Structure 1
């Protein structure tokens, strides 16, 4: 049986477990699975989109992953406090025309007492890349557990 997810207040180890669990879930590209990490009334800002609740989160993620093909993500713990965690992330994907993109972003997370995320704010910038510039190829391997992605 797996260990229950960390609940606030977070220490460094618990915050890192939250970040890795989020990365693993997002790399499944399964909207329903990802949405289970959020409260039923979770509030999101993703770029210029504002969402409330799991149903909107699932719809958003379905639409996102229908556009962002071969999506692969890395998240890094930036900092944490009582019930908040900040991360930096990068992901790569391609669009239907075959253009590859690397997206850089920062997220601020706030958690309810039960450990589910009640608020997520994401700021993201996209940069076109050539296939030869790719550096994220699927879910994080065991040999990458401590790897920090460069800024560019």
Structure 2
């Protein structure tokens, strides 16, 4: 199955889960080829362009966000765009290794070759306790029970 536009529901869902799995590697060099060389990003208050900037951003991200585990779910799609809802949990290396969860939304625009040419991300972090975690070690993030109040 080609993961290039135009998207169907099946392709959009597969694209989202592929991105989820790729980001869960926490390997910027594996992740950056999924973006066009001049890909435009807004990640919260950071604005960047290009795969070198993406690799640098992700390297810094995972210096701070330890034991990172992410789940993405398809929210909506069109011919060459996908909207995603996501949650991830991490220990904040810059804040005493406190557990945090980010809730967010992304909108993605794709080039004809299937690589992402634009990514806009909005997210909010909250502090959580160890007992509040959904993505504990060994848990399949796709099967973690996320109550409707968090969707």
What TM-score comes out, normalization by structure 1 length?
0.91
Offset at 1:141? 3.0
- Report the aligned-residue RMSD: 1.8
Contact 1:72–1:139 under 8 Å retained in 2: no
Tell me the equivalent position of 1:40: 37
Name stretches of at least 5 consecutive residues in structure 2 with no aligned partner. Answer: none
Contact 2:89–2:135 under 8 Å retained in 1: yes
**Other structure's SS at 2:120 match:** strand
Tell me the equivalent position of 1:124: 123
Q: How far, CA to CA, are the matches of 1:143 and 1:31 in structure 2?
A: 22
Offset at 1:148? 6.6
Q: How does 1:34-113 map to 2 (within 5 A)?
A: 34-96=31-93, 97-113=96-112
Moved over 6 A (4+): none
What TM-score comes out, normalization by structure 2 length?
0.91
The C-alpha deviation readout for 1:10-65, integer Å capped at 9, x for no partner, is 00000000000000000000001111110010000000000100000000000000
Offset at 1:95? 1.2
Match status 1:22 vs 2:19: yes
**Other structure's SS at 2:3 match:** coil
Distance 1:100 1:62, change over 3 A: same
Q: How far, CA to CA, are the matches of 2:9 and 2:139 in structure 1?
A: 20
Name stretches of at least 5 consecutive residues in structure 1 with no aligned partner. Answer: none
Contact 2:103–2:124 under 8 Å retained in 1: yes
**Other structure's SS at 2:24 match:** helix
The C-alpha deviation readout for 1:61-111, integer Å capped at 9, x for no partner, is 000000000000000000000000000000000112120000000000000
